[in-house]
Amino acid sequence: MATPVVLIAGDGIGPEVTSAMQEVLEAAGAQVTWVEAHAGLPAVERFGDVLPQQTLDLCRRYRVALKGPCTTPVGKGFRSINVRLRKELDLYASVRPVCTLPGVDVPYDNVDLVVVRENTEGLYSGQEHVVVPGVVESLRLITRFACERIVRYAFELARQQGRRRVTFCHKADVMPMSDGLFLAVAREVADEFPFVGFEEMHVDALCMQLALDPSRYDVLVMENLFGDVLSDLCAGLVGGLGLVPGANIGTRCAIFEAVHGSAPDIAGKGLANPVALIRSAAMMLEHIGQRAVAARIEASVRKTLQAHAGLTRDLGGDGNTATLTKALIRNL
């Protein structure tokens, strides 16, 4: 029986990469019924909001969604759609698997790590105020509850995927209260998983080590701002945002999405690389139990990249969205 999945095409290159993804999933035999929902610029025109209530209701009802990128209009009073989605649906874990792909020219081999980022608080809790004119304060909110559930999520993921080690990334020497609490909780949770290795690292040292030898890392877990920066850094280690999938997971709902934005500079030109969204869709299929189809899609991505077949310009090819989609379908 087909599983209903909420589909938010987004805007900019969103609709282009979404229809490429749908073609590949259909050819791969995914058993999915798409439930269309709106967000981004088309939703403003139709519903007066970048993230209409109906979209949130559909995500709550069906519990699994696949989302294309959405533009957040700057200076028009709209809050970031992604921040709102994470808050409203309590999508507390951002999960980004990062691995070396064949045929992609990068300086590193054997990268195979997962970045697990706390998605709901830290410096992105949205608590800012003007103290006096010229002085602004941002609150870095850290709670035991959120620390515990994100570190536990990272260890559970390591256990399920047979990974060897969780690296907790922090700056407790400079922020002894907030990151001190996070670190203390991470150590407590680590004690519950003696069969998974645990390592603590300062975020600055970790960035340097990742640049020197990313292959020694396995699962990385951290607070929101560090995670935002580190997950893009890690995407860069394996070829960039056009390739890396992502998921935002909550207790009741999960939204899968490519990590790149709406790329207004190439929107509507048929040049967008759909691989990141297609790999996010493969993660979604795994989440709903369609593992064989997910594996077939991932294998096709690897084969296509290795053969340099139909690749888009960001991947060094001279093809476009259509040629890459065709190659991916041929290689299924």
Amino acid at 194: P
> Residue 222, interface with ligand NAI (CB under 6 A)?
no
Q: Contact 46/38 with Cβ under 8 angstroms? A: yes
| Under rule CB under 6 A, residue 125 binds ligand NAI | no
Three-point CA angle 271, 273, 275, nearest 5°: 160
Tell me if 117 contacts ligand NAI by CB under 6 A: no
Helices 275-287 and 321-330 sit at what angle, rounded to 10 degrees?
Answer: 40
Instruction: Enumerate the β-bridge partners of residue 129.
Output: 137
35: helix, strand or coil: strand
Q: Helix, strand, or coil here: 181?
A: helix
**Catalytic residue selected from 57, 204, 213, 269:** 204
Q: Residue 222: enclosing H or E segment and its boundaries? A: strand 219-222
Q: For this structure, is 67 an active site residue? A: no
- Please select the residue that binds ligand NAI; options are 167, 290, 314, 328, rule is CB under 6 A: 314
Q: From the list 55, 71, 125, 290, which residue makes contact with ligand NAI (rule: CB under 6 A)?
A: 71
At position 263, the amino acid (one-letter code) is: A
Q: Note if 124 is an active site residue.
A: yes
Using CB under 6 A, pick the residue from 22, 82, 94, 224 that binds ligand NAI.
Answer: 82
- Residues of span 230-249 touching ligand NAI by CB under 6 A: 241-242
Contacting ligand NAI within 2-21 (CB under 6 A): 13, 17
Place of tokens 């536990």: 152
Cβ-based neighbour number of residue 2 at 10 Å: 9
Least CB distance from residue 275 to ligand NAI, whole Å? 8
> Which residue is at the shortest CB distance from ligand NAI?
261
Among 22, 273, 280, 325, binds ligand NAI (CB under 6 A): 273
Which residues are designated catalytic? 124, 171, 204, 228
Q: Which residues of the chain form contacts with ligand NAI (CB under 6 A)?
A: 13, 17, 69-72, 82, 241-242, 257, 260-266, 272-273, 276, 312, 314
